[in-house]
């Protein structure tokens, strides 16, 4: 039985990866941080299963800022594969806590790689690199493994360090280490302050009368949004190859935030009509003129990544990886899940009742 260690197991990707690896017959170990209230909501359904918790899935307290803890855990667990998914992963927040972001999202990766090197552990290492490395310059799209890096946030810069230290430990010490340069991937388990989940929750909350409107920042930003459940398979595939390389995973499509808003409301039969420009731009329900979306400059970032559009042909060719969920399917899945959670009905039930 192969053993995997996942940092960031309580996050969106960590939870899907855990399900995936358990299904493949792995023994999965995860590092969790101490919180004043539980942070394991995304993996409770696994850990609370008596066949899995402490039999196939083991949780250990730890933190990417604590080298001695990481060294001890690596020695104790002896994993065959390490997936480094832990990070302060919010781009906007990284402008508020730049030093902490560097410490966790940057130096945390070095701590893990050095623990592997010092313990002579024969294991494979996956680093959660990101399309934020590219900086979203329009002239570089579609971005692939050869596109120059130009990070635009403390998060992006911290990830740049992690990218290169991963390459460096591969080249210097022969560690089987791969960077997965992943474009945005979302799901019903996405953190609530990322734009996609903020939008899909708002659709349900507005219908439930719990929220009057949705306030956003840059509506024109373009992202290449895929489904997280598809992307974790690519992470695993990278570690199953004979040689370690870096790969882009993306959908090869790009859409604006505005388009995401329109399609999310469209799922519940609301058509958005836009009026005004810039900070005065507003989205109304075309049927009755109700204000549903406005712009609040507090969500603008000091520097913005304008256009992400990936080209994952290397992963398609060499790993046989391909996204399976379309942009529309992703939006439907997220709105449907938030409708069930917040309103207590599925999209289908809601549309039937409101025919
Ligand atoms: P996420 O939901 O924000 O999860 C982040 C995870 O990191 C959580 O489990 C969190 O634990 C953990 N963590 C944060 N600080 C830590 C620390 N100091 N020590 C140990 N663990 C810590 O992120 P995600 O969307 O799953 O993304 C996974 C990884 O891929 C991240 O590295 C992210 O930067 C990267 N990435 C994400 C995307 C994307 O679109 N989702 C794209 C490219 C790259 P708590 O639960 O305790 O907070
Ligand atoms: O923003 C714009 C915002 O926070 C997407 C992380 O997983 O993907 C993620 O980073 C876009 C940006 O994700 C709001 O300005 C408008 O242009 O959902 P986001 P992100 O910054 O792309 C990359 C690949 C990662 O690696 C990161 O870890 O949407 N936007 N209005 C807004 N964004 C937010 N959060 N909130 C708004 O109100």
Annotated catalytic, 155? yes
Dihedral (Cα; 302, 308, 338, 59), 10-degree rounding: -90
Q: Is residue 50 part of a domain?
A: yes
Nearest Cα to 203, choosing from 134, 268, 128, 158?
268
Tens of pLDDT along the chain (355 residues) come to 999 999 999 999 999 999 999 999 999 999 999 999 999 999 999 999 999 999 999 999 999 999 999 999 999 999 999 999 999 999 999 999 999 999 999 999 999 999 999 999 999 999 999 999 999 999 999 999 999 999 999 999 999 999 999 999 999 999 999 999 999 999 999 999 999 999 999 999 999 999 999 999 999 999 999 999 999 999 999 999 999 999 999 999 999 999 999 999 999 999 999 999 999 999 999 999 999 999 999 999 999 999 999 999 999 999 999 999 999 999 999 999 999 999 999 999 999 999 8
144 plus 207 within the same structural domain = no
Residue 261 is predicted with a pLDDT of 99
What's the 194 CA to ligand 2 centre distance in angstroms? 6
pLDDT in tens, 212-243: 999 999 999 999 999 999 999 999 999 999 99
Q: Is residue 311 part of a domain?
A: no
Q: Are 250 and 183 in contact (CB under 8 A)?
A: yes
23 plus 131 within the same structural domain = yes
218 plus 139 within the same structural domain = no
Q: Which ligand 1 atom sits closest to the C-alpha of 39?
A: 46
Distances 49 to 17, 19, 52, 272, 281 between C-alpha atoms, Å: 17, 12, 5, 43, 48
Is residue 299 within 6 Å of ligand 2 at its C-beta?
Answer: yes
130 plus 155 within the same structural domain = yes
| Ligand number nearest to the C-alpha of 181 | 1
Report how many domains make up the chain: 2
Both tokens assigned to 312: 């994952």
Residue 219 is predicted with a pLDDT of 98
Annotated catalytic, 325? no
Q: Which ligand 2 atom sits closest to the C-alpha of 300?
A: 15
Element (H, E) at 65: none
Distance, in Å, from the CA atom of 157 to the CA atom of 87, rounded to the nearest integer, reads 13
Distances 37 to 31, 41, 49 between C-alpha atoms, Å: 16, 10, 21
Is residue 132 within 6 Å of ligand 2 at its C-beta?
Answer: yes
φ, ψ dihedrals at 146, nearest 5°:
-100, 0
234 plus 139 within the same structural domain = yes
φ, ψ dihedrals at 57, nearest 5°:
-125, 125
Q: Is residue 340 part of a domain?
A: yes
CATH of the domain at 335: 3.90.25.10
Residue 168 is predicted with a pLDDT of 98
Is residue 185 within 6 Å of ligand 1 at its C-beta?
Answer: yes
Residues contacting residue 344 through CB under 8 Å, at least 6 positions apart: none
Both tokens assigned to 216: 């956003």
153 plus 294 within the same structural domain = no
Alpha helices in the chain (DSSP H): 12-23, 44-47, 67-77, 91-96, 98-101, 108-119, 154-173, 195-207, 228-239, 257-266, 313-318, 327-338, 347-353
Question: Which residue in the list 16, 26, 155, 163 is annotated as catalytic?
Answer: 155
Both tokens assigned to 98: 């730049």
The residue contributing the CA closest to ligand 2 atom 13 is: 194
Is residue 18 within 6 Å of ligand 2 at its C-beta?
Answer: no
91 plus 124 within the same structural domain = yes
Residues contacting residue 17 through CB under 8 Å, at least 6 positions apart: 6, 9, 83, 85, 232, 235, 236
234 plus 296 within the same structural domain = no
102 plus 206 within the same structural domain = no
What's the 280 CA to ligand 1 centre distance in angstroms? 34
| Ligand number nearest to the C-alpha of 310 | 2
The residue contributing the CA closest to ligand 2 atom 23 is: 184
What's the 65 CA to ligand 2 centre distance in angstroms? 25
Is residue 301 within 6 Å of ligand 1 at its C-beta?
Answer: no
Expressed as residue numbers, the domain containing 213 is 195-222+255-305+326-353
Is residue 17 within 6 Å of ligand 1 at its C-beta?
Answer: no
177 plus 214 within the same structural domain = no
């Amino acid at each position: 039985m192969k053993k995997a260690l996942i940092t960031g197991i309580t996050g969106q990707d960590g939870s899907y990866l855990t399900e995936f690896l358990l299904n493949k017959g792995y023994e999965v170990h995860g590092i969790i941080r101490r919180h004043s209230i539980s942070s394991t909501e995304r993996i409770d359904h696994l850990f609370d299963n008596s066949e899995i918790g402490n039999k196939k899935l083991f949780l250990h307290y730890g933190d990417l800022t604590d080298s001695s803890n990481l060294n001890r855990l690596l020695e104790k667990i002896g994993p065959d594969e390490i997936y480094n998914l832990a990070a302060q992963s919010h781009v906007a927040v990284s402008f508020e806590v730049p030093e902490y972001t560097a410490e966790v999202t940057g130096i945390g990766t070095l701590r893990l790689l050095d623990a592997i090197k010092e313990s002579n552990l024969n294991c494979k290492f996956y680093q959660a690199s990101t399309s934020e490395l590219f900086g979203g310059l329009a002239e570089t799209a579609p971005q692939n493994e050869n596109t120059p890096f130009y990070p635009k946030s403390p998060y992006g810069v911290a990830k740049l360090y992690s990218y290169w230290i991963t390459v460096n430990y591969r080249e210097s010490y022969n560690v089987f280490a791969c960077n997965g340069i992943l474009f945005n991937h979302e799901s019903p388990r996405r953190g609530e302050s990322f734009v996609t989940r903020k939008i899909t929750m708002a659709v349900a909350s507005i219908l439930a009368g719990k929220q009057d409107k949705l306030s956003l920042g840059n509506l024109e930003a373009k992202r290449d949004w895929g489904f997280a459940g598809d992307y974790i398979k690519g992470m695993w595939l990278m570690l199953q190859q004979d040689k370690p390389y870096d790969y882009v995973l993306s959908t090869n499509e790009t859409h604006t935030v505005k388009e995401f808003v329109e399609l999310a409301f469209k799922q519940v039969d609301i058509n958005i009509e836009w009026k005004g420009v810039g900070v005065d731009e507003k989205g109304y329900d075309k049927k009755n003129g109700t204000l549903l979306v406005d712009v609040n400059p507090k969500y603008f970032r000091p520097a913005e990544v304008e256009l992400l559009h990936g080209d994952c042909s290397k992963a398609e060719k060499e790993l046989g990886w391909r996204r399976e969920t379309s942009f529309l399917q992703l939006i439907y899945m997220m709105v449907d899940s938030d409708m069930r959670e917040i309103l207590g009905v599925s999209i289908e039930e809601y549309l039937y009742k409101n025919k």
